Amino acid sequence: MEKYKEGPATIKTPTYHGQGRSQLKRSLDNSFAPGHPLANLPTLFQKQQQARLQYYHHRPPVYVDKPSFGLRDFELQDTLGTGTFGRVFLTKFKPSSKYYAMKVLKKSEVVRLKQVEHLLSEKEILASIRFPFVVDLFCTFQDDSNLYMLLEYVVGGELFTHLRRAGRFTNDMTRFYASEIVLAIEYLHSKDIIYRDLKPENLLIDHQGHIKITDFGFAKKVVDRTWTLCGTPEYLAPEIIQSKGHGKAVDWWALGILIFEMLAGYPPFFDDNSFGIYEKILMGKVQFSAHFDAMAKDLLKRLLTSDRTRRLGNMMGGSEDVKRHKWFRG
């Protein structure tokens, strides 16, 4: 769970190292149910995506406000994550014995850090959407001390963990995850929602191996542009750094960063401090390792275009331009 910030976080870039791509496949084979979608790519992954999209088609958001709920109705178990003003717990709903992820936020800290507006925005956005590659918000309630958000529990953990364990992903694995993220971005943008925090830490893997986007603390409903400075340094688009006002194009830039990181094991722009990262982003020079194929490099160059009016995904063809790129055809 991330702390909400008015400005970019100052973080140190972790040390990246390759551990062999076969290690990731072994971990996935041991973690997920039979029929994992990474088998038999690329034909199976398209069929599974289509089936999941059909399942969700015309289904309303699952969110309901439950002021009558209280902690007495839940059994809090393991801590799944911690943040500046709260924790996320694995919790069991006693009446049904179903498991959820419960976000517990201290009211005093939310007010002290002036995050009331951000929190309300996160709740409203999650309550208004439902998509197979986005976590579901089931209900919210509160007591005198805390606010509670009951979210879908995603058992596979963060994509970040699997990527670091593997070192880097294959083209097929990266294409599989990226295609689901493209569909999620397309869905959010159709509702005028900018996500603004795409990174491996905010991508969960479900029991079938599919992506679930989580943590909507930086998400915002915007028709045109916004000027709030927020995000993670390595993933910031140039227009955010330059305070030019930004819109949906920032999510396509972040997709380019993410695809590069999945293929390389590290982001294209990194440094020991955030200002060094910003300088490299504004310079815009991307160095590709020898294992990047021509189609991957072409896609990334088009996504990591500093001029947002020429950035893939933000031109006349919109998300269709991204989906039609040759890299996604295998």
- Is 262 within a domain? yes
Same domain, 128 and 25: no
Structural domain for 250, as ranges: 21-53+156-329
- Would residue 186 count as lying in a domain? yes
The mean-pLDDT minimum among 87-91, 137-141, 224-228, 257-261 falls in 224-228
Mean pLDDT lowest among 19-23, 99-103, 198-202, 226-230: 19-23
CB atoms within 10 A of CB 245: 13
Quick one: pLDDT at residue 228?
A: 86
Higher local confidence (pLDDT), 150 or 21: 150
> Do residues 74 and 200 both lie within one domain?
no
Q: Domain count for the chain, please give it.
A: 2
Let me know whether 286 and 235 are in one domain.
yes
Based on the residue annotation, tell me whether 136 is a catalytic residue of this protein. no
Residue 2 lies in a domain: no
pLDDT at 29 over 70: no
Q: Do 248 and 206 share a structural domain?
A: yes
Residue 69 belongs to domain with CATH number: 3.30.200.20
**DSSP state for residue 62 in the 8-state scheme:** -
The type of residue at 213 is I
Please report the pLDDT score of residue 229 as a whole number.
82
Contact yes or no for 191/184 (Cβ under 8 A) = no
Binding site annotation covers 5?
no
Residue of 184, 180, 52, 182 lying closest to 129 (CA atoms): 184
Last residue of a domain, one of 96, 127, 152: 152
DSSP per-residue codes, 64-85: EE-TT--GGGEEEEEEEEEETT
Q: Nearest to residue 133, comparing CAs of 88, 187, 171?
A: 187
Residue-level pLDDT at 82: 87
Has residue 22 got a pLDDT over 80? no
Exposure string of 202-238, with b = 16+ CB inside 10 Å and e = fewer, is bbbbbeebbbbbbbbbbbbebeeebebebbbbbbbbb
* Cα 265 off chain centre by: 17
**Tens-digit pLDDT profile for residues 291-310:** 999 999 999 999 999 999 99
Q: What is the per-residue pLDDT for 48? A: 53
> 165 and 292, same structural domain?
yes
Mean pLDDT score of the chain, rounded to an integer? Answer: 85
Please report whether residue 264 resides in a domain: yes
Looking at per-residue pLDDT, the higher value among 43 and 270 belongs to 270
Which pLDDT score is estimated for 84?
79
Q: Return the CATH number at 240.
A: 1.10.510.10
| Residue that finishes a domain, picked among 127, 152, 177 | 152
Query: What confidence category does residue 60 fall into, taking pLDDT thresholds of 50, 70 and 90?
Result: low
Handedness of CA 122, 126, 132, 135 (dihedral sign): positive
Same domain, 160 and 126: no
Tell which wins on pLDDT, 78 or 38. 78
Of 152, 183, 207, the residue at which a domain comes to its end is 152
- Flag whether pLDDT at 4 surpasses 70: no
Residue 9, in any domain of the structure: no
Residues 30 and 140 in one domain: no
Using one digit for the tens of pLDDT, what is the confidence trace for 170-216? 999 999 999 999 999 999 999 999 999 999 999 999 999 999 999 99
- pLDDT tens sequence across 89-107: 999 999 999 999 999 999 9
User: Which of residues 56 and 83 earns the better pLDDT score?
Assistant: 83
**Is there a domain that residue 8 lies in?**
no
207's tokens? 């029991």
- Does 163 lie in the same domain as 147? no
Catalytic residue among 65, 136, 197, 293: 197
- My answer on whether 236 and 306 are in the same domain is yes
